[in-house]
Amino acid sequence: TKEYQFKEVGIKLEIKPQISGENSIRLDISQESSDVVNPGVEAITIFKRTIKTSVIAEDGEIIVLGGLIKEKIARDHDKIPGFGDLPLLGWLFRSKQNQFEKINLLIFIRPNIIRTKADLKRVNQRAGSRFKKAKELNKISDQVLEDMGLPELSEKGERVTE
């Protein structure tokens, strides 16, 4: 019998804020990014990258975290069945492709000191406005894809096929 075990993969971000001084905030930040390296095989490997740092920022100042870089090389070998295995001429019926992918994860953090209910309301309105704009941009990109005859993107950025 096969035994399955659940493993969490993705992006994990932990922030411990501490107000220090009149208008500054100390942030202890732990960031982790993990991926399944070889899906489809019985014994999977999880690739994990972690950054831990502390930073002091002013109220409302934007902090950019970077450095979690992932490089991936995918090798694809195709051949026409039967012909690709022929001695001497098989190379005419085979192809090899290398795809290089480099991902640099950047995280933007804007800490805010909330002193009053009015501050909380302002921060929530700003966040709601940004969320609404992001949804509108997603609708626009889906419309562009549709106009090009391509399927729209899912929430995970993958093509939706019916």
Report pLDDT digits (tens) over 63-113: 998 877 777 777 788 888 888 888 888 888 888 888 887 878 888 999 999
Q: What is the 3-state secondary structure (H, E, C) of 37-91?
A: CCCCCCCCCEEEEEEEEEEEEECCCCEEEEEEEEEEEEEEEEECCCCCCCCCCHH
145 HSE (CA, 13 A, CB side) = 16
| pLDDT at site 5 | 74
Of all residues in the chain, what percent carry a pLDDT higher than 70?
88
State pTM to two decimals. Answer: 0.61
Type of residue at 102: K
Using only C-alpha atoms, the chain has a radius of gyration, in whole angstroms, of 24
